[in-house]
Chains A and B, each alone.
Chain A
Amino acid sequence: MKSREQEYKEIFIAEALEYFDALNRLISELEKRPQDDQVLAEIFRMLHNLKANAKAIGYLQISDVSHKLETAFGLIRNKELSFSDEVVGVLFDGIDLLGELIKSIDSERQVEVDPVLIRNLDIIVDSLSDSTVELAKVQKFSTSRNLTLSDLIYIQVKKLDHLMNLVGELIIDRDRILSLSRELDSDELKTVGSHLYRITEDLQYSVMDARLVSIGTLFNKFPRVVRDIATAEKKEIDLELSGQDIQIDRNILQIMTDSLLHLVRNAITHGIEKPEQRVRADKPKAGLLQLSARSDRESVVITLTDDGKGIDIGKVKNAAVAQQLVPADVAENLPDSEVYSFLFEPGFSLAKEVTEFSGRGVGLDVVKNAIDSIGGRIRIESEKGKGTSFILQLPTSIAVKGALLFEIDSIFYAIPLIHTDSVVALDKDELHEVGEVLVADIKGETVTVVYLDELLNVEESQMRLGDKTRLKGQVQNIIIVSYNNRKLGLIVDKLYRQQDIVVKPLSKPLDSIDLYGGVTLLGTGKVCLVLDVPAITRYFVNRR
């Protein structure tokens, strides 16, 4: 795990080496133009920063030598010390010593500081003598100079974003070439194509890898946050972190930051009880909050668990009925997972629970939207009296998504894999007409099934989604998608394969079409629309 100390150290070294290189350049310039105030100011500024940074991180030798050099250059600037050959020699030696000290931070080697050099610097700095004749000759540290560059560079995230976009374009062209090589049946092209495939794949993962950061960079902020909220709420909280070294795309982590903060605040404010209530309930006085991360194939799962009072499922049902999200008779028989989903509805709140802060639930729709925007999933597990878990499944990378390709009316479509649960083939007789939709019993669960051809290609006034006679053929291929704990079956003509796709957002005016989340190009050069599962599911949940 990259601790904050390690991060500080790396930044310090990288910046110090930059200063060291710049100092060497500047002092050479100064040798030519000793009166150049601007150069002097630059040197002064860098030594000053080096001193302050070294002192802050605790490299006292570096701050000490920087301080001496800074003082010396200050004297030169104030014309109290002449920039004579002897002085220049000592200053160069001093800067070399700085370089040695900076480079030794990351190596086992100890730099032996030559006392004569320090004495020389002191002579200059303290004006121990009017003449600088006293300056003893100091053995140079390295007569044959080695040029070294830092192993670490800093790069703006937007440059990495650009690189990722280019990789996306490249993947589209690669797939096109692979497809052409098959069409033309050219062995030579196929060989080149398969080589190109391996390289672009390698490139894609390298760029994705360069964007990864440890989840610890976010998790490690929470001990302080939790302490502050707990103090304000007069609660006792033990926070347990795990999985800090799991890696995730920097932008995804950025988008999740506010959501996680929100969930943690909620858990402390509304989940975990006051110490006296906990003691009465036979629980330890201090509440336990666990924040963990783990890798799960292509995604990262972040779980936030509290051992608080849990969610009262009856109250959620009542509130959902009161807010007309669901009829009372339907609510009665809903599985728990679907009931918890109401908490993510915009504006949903457990009215009786509203405190001066907010009822649990308020703001959860914001969390949900953030997770939707990066193509992730969230669900709740809770047991009354025992506690609540929020489970967030997030993609490790934004740009490239695993998707399932299928065909309707000879047109290609894709669904991101993160939303697909399973694929089933059902006989037409197993589908039942219920009101305006079709339903089927899938693994013991009643699932709404939608004939996509009807939904996508028939005008709204003619659309009859609950009419079985519209279906083609006897056996129906159905993709079961899941969003916010609600399952939906989508009938497609033909299933193809899984494939990594690069989703491009739809541009105006097409971006106002709710059913599509974006578009991609297939190897064949054909355009393929990517279905927006959250939007489609919401559409049908509202109808029911």
Chain B
Amino acid sequence: MKRILIVDDSFYMRTMLKNMLTDAGYEIVGEAPNGQTALELAKETNPDLITLDVILPDNTGLDVLKGIKAEQPDMKIVIVSAVGQEVIVNEALEYGALSYIVKPFSEEKVLEVVKKALDE
């Protein structure tokens, strides 16, 4: 079973993502509401994939992305963003994020992106 870490500051978003992903047979190994926890959990749980919200309370998602990539260069990371953040998304892709999901997302879209990223 593929293991996924969810990083998002909104409990609502985390719940939705968690439900969609567990229903599809993935194991959620952790949920991080901020950058600090995200960095710790990424190291601690070493998941197969991380979904990363780009706006977080302490650091920006980009800093988290760089932080994780510095320690775990092969980590698969999918960006979760909203409309209007294309600039950040592009930057994230340059720093090694595999793909992105735009909020509000459909279950199909999430599963498609996650599956593709895991297969890569």
The CA-CA distance from A278 to B64 in the complex, in Å, is: 54
Among residues of B, the one whose C-beta sits closest to the C-beta of A50 is B10
Q: Which residues of A contact B19 (CB under 8 A)?
A: 4
Q: Which residues of B (37-73) have their CB < 8 Å from a CB of A?
A: 55-57
* Residue from A7, A44, A53, A225 within 8 A of B10 (CB atoms): A53
Q: Which residues of A (40-67) have their CB < 8 Å from a CB of B?
A: 42, 44-45, 48-49, 51-53, 55-57
Q: Which residues of B contact A225 (CB under 8 A)?
A: 23, 25
**Interface class of chain A by DSSP:** helix
* Residue from B12, B22, B57 within 8 A of A53 (CB atoms): B12
Q: Which residues of A (57-102) have their CB < 8 Å from a CB of B?
A: 57
The CA-CA distance from A1 to B24 in the complex, in Å, is: 23
The CA-CA distance from A15 to B15 in the complex, in Å, is: 12
Contact B82 A154 (CB under 8 A): no
The CA-CA distance from A15 to B10 in the complex, in Å, is: 8
Contact A49 B25 (CB under 8 A): no
Among residues of A, the one whose C-beta sits closest to the C-beta of B24 is A224
Q: Which residues of B contact A12 (CB under 8 A)?
A: 12
* Residue from A14, A49, A55, A57 within 8 A of B9 (CB atoms): A49
Nearest-neighbour CB distance to chain A for B52, whole angstroms, equals 15
Contact B55 A45 (CB under 8 A): yes
* Residue from B11, B16, B22 within 8 A of A56 (CB atoms): B16
Among residues of A, the one whose C-beta sits closest to the C-beta of B10 is A49
Q: Which residues of B contact A7 (CB under 8 A)?
A: 15
Q: Any chain B CB within 8 A of the CB of A228?
A: yes
Q: Any chain B CB within 8 A of the CB of A497?
A: no
Contact B25 A52 (CB under 8 A): no
Q: How many residues of A contact B (CB 8 A)?
A: 23
Q: Which residues of A contact B11 (CB under 8 A)?
A: 11, 14-15, 154
The CA-CA distance from A53 to B23 in the complex, in Å, is: 20
The CA-CA distance from A237 to B15 in the complex, in Å, is: 29
Q: Which residues of B contact A57 (CB under 8 A)?
A: 12
Of B10, B13, B19, B57, chain A has the most CB atoms within 10 Å of the CB of B10
Nearest-neighbour CB distance to chain A for B32, whole angstroms, equals 15
The CA-CA distance from A225 to B22 in the complex, in Å, is: 10
Q: Any chain B CB within 8 A of the CB of A8?
A: yes
Q: Which residues of A contact B15 (CB under 8 A)?
A: 7-8, 11
Contact B23 A52 (CB under 8 A): no
The CA-CA distance from A154 to B12 in the complex, in Å, is: 12
* Residue from A14, A48, A56, A228 within 8 A of B25 (CB atoms): A228
Known: A4-B19, A52-B82, A224-B24. A45 touches B12 (CB 8 A): no
Q: Any chain B CB within 8 A of the CB of A221?
A: yes
Q: Which residues of B contact A11 (CB under 8 A)?
A: 11-12, 15
Q: Which residues of A (1-59) have their CB < 8 Å from a CB of B?
A: 4, 7-8, 11-12, 14-15, 42, 44-45, 48-49, 51-53, 55-57
* Residue from B13, B22, B56, B57 within 8 A of A52 (CB atoms): B13
Q: What 6 A-B pairs have minimum CB-CB distances, sorted nearest first? A: A56-B104, A52-B103, A49-B10, A55-B104, A53-B12, A224-B23
Which A residues form the contact surface with B (CB < 8 A)? Answer: 4, 7-8, 11-12, 14-15, 42, 44-45, 48-49, 51-53, 55-57, 154, 221, 224-225, 228
Which B residues form the contact surface with A (CB < 8 A)? Answer: 9-13, 15-16, 19, 22-25, 55-57, 82, 103-105
Could you list 10 examples of A-B contacts with CB < 8 Å? Answer: A45-B57, A49-B9, A49-B10, A49-B55, A52-B13, A53-B12, A56-B12, A57-B12, A225-B23, A225-B25
